[in-house]
Amino acid sequence: MDDQGELLQLLNDVAVWEVEGVERAFAEQSLARLRALSGDLSVTPRFVTARDGIELAYRRYPGGPARAIVLVHGAAGHGGHLHTLASRIADQGAGTVYVPDMRGHGLSGRRRGHAVAYPDQMVEDIGVILEAVARDHPAAPIVLGGHSAGGGLALRCCSDALCDRVSALLLLAPFLGHTAPTTRPRIGGWVAVYRKRMNALIALNARGITGFNDLPVVEFNQPPCTLDGRETLSWSYNTLLAFGPGDSAGELASAGAGRPMLVIVGTEDECFRAEAYPKVMAGAVPTADVHLLPDLGHWDLLTDPSATDIAVEWLHRL
C-alpha cells in the first residue's frame, strides 16, 4: 500500500466506533465503598483560571500552616473521591489540603473527558493550582500526591516542569504506565479501548496529524451501583496522553530524585499488581517508603483509616 493509501486507511480506522471486547465484570466492592463515603461535598469549591481561560475547580481543607498538600484524583473520578482522605489529613494537623477537579472532570472545564487540547496541558494546570496554593502558603513546603492516574500525573509533574515547586510525593496506588509490571491487562477490566482508532491516532500523530485527538479512545467500566453523576466515563486521546506518567520508568526515577516519596497500595487492588510495586520502586527510587496494606482494594485507600494513618505519620516526619 502506498503512503496515500495508508493515510486513507488510517482515516478510515479513526472513524470506527468499535470498543475492544473486554469482560464487563469488574470487582466493584472498593469502588462501591468509596461511593458511599464520598457524597459529602460541603466544602465550597474555589476556582482558578487556567492559561487557556478554563476555570479549574478545587477545594481547600484547612489543616494548619506546616505544609500544603495537593491531591489529584484518578481516572473517571473527581475531587469528591478524596474528600474523606483530605478531611482526615487536615483534621490531624498534617497540613492544609487542596483537591482539584482536573480539566474535563467534576466542575472543571468543558465537556467531560474531552477538555484537553495537548498532552502537557494537565501539567500546566497543576502548575496553576500550585501557584494558587503558594499564594495561600508563601513559606510552606508543598507536597504533591495523587491516586491512580492522579499519582501518575504527579510523577510526571515532578520529573521536569514543576520539580522545583514540590518538596515530596504522596502516591496512592499510582499508575506507572500501561507497560509497567504493576499494571494489570486492561487495568484489571477497568477500561475498554477503541483499539483500532487508538492505533490509527498513534500513527497519525507520528505524521503530525493531531486534528482527531479529541475523539474518545477509552471508556471506563464503572458499575452502575457506583455512579454518582459526577464521573467522567470516557477519555479523548488527548486526555489519555495528558492524564498519566508519560515515560513511567524515566519519570519515576527523576521525580523521586532528592525528595521524599510515600507509596501506598492495597494488596487486593483491582487495577494494579500490588506485589510488583516494591521491586519497581526499589529499582527506580530506592529511598521511597512503600507500604502494602492487607485486604484493601484500589479505592479503599481513599477511605480506610489505616492508609490515612500512614500518610499522616509520614507527613509529620517531613
What integer pLDDT is reported at residue 17 of this predicted model? 67
What integer pLDDT is reported at residue 245 of this predicted model? 86
Residue the block writes with cell 513559606: 139
Q: What is the DSSP letter of 45?
A: P
Q: Is residue 2 part of a domain?
A: no
What integer pLDDT is reported at residue 257 of this predicted model? 82
Q: Is residue 313 part of a domain?
A: yes
Q: Is residue 1 part of a domain?
A: no
- Residue-wise DSSP of 229-269: S----EEEHHHHHHSS-SSHHHHHHHHHTTS-EEEEEETT-
What integer pLDDT is reported at residue 5 of this predicted model? 66
Q: Is residue 272 part of a domain?
A: yes
Positive or negative: CA dihedral 290, 295, 297, 301: negative
Q: How far is C-alpha 263 from the geometric centre of its chain's CA atoms?
A: 14
Q: Is residue 12 part of a domain?
A: no
Of 221, 222, 200, the closest CA to residue 17 belongs to 200
Of 59, 62, 69, 65, the closest CA to residue 91 belongs to 62
What integer pLDDT is reported at residue 10 of this predicted model? 65
Q: Is residue 227 part of a domain?
A: no
Q: Is residue 202 part of a domain?
A: no
What integer pLDDT is reported at residue 155 of this predicted model? 93
Pairing of strands 96-100, 55-61: antiparallel
Q: Is residue 228 part of a domain?
A: no
The pTM assigned to this predicted structure is: 0.93
Spatial distance between the Cα atoms of 188 and 24, rounded to a whole number of angstroms: 10
Crossing angle between the packed helical segments 277-284 and 248-256, to the nearest 10 degrees: 60
What integer pLDDT is reported at residue 76 of this predicted model? 92
Residue 115 belongs to a domain with what CATH number?
3.40.50.1820
Spatial distance between the Cα atoms of 167 and 41, rounded to a whole number of angstroms: 28
What integer pLDDT is reported at residue 247 of this predicted model? 63
pLDDT along the chain (318 residues), means of 10: 66 68 58 75 90 96 96 95 95 98 93 93 96 95 97 89 88 94 90 90 93 93 84 94 78 85 96 96 94 96 97 97
Q: How far apart are the first and last CA of the chain?
A: 59
3-class secondary structure, 74: coil
Q: Are 161 and 144 in contact (CB under 8 A)?
A: no
Report residue 228 as a C-alpha cell. 454518582
Report the number of distinct structural domains present in the chain: 1
Q: Which domain holds residue 100?
A: 30-182+246-317
What integer pLDDT is reported at residue 24 of this predicted model? 47
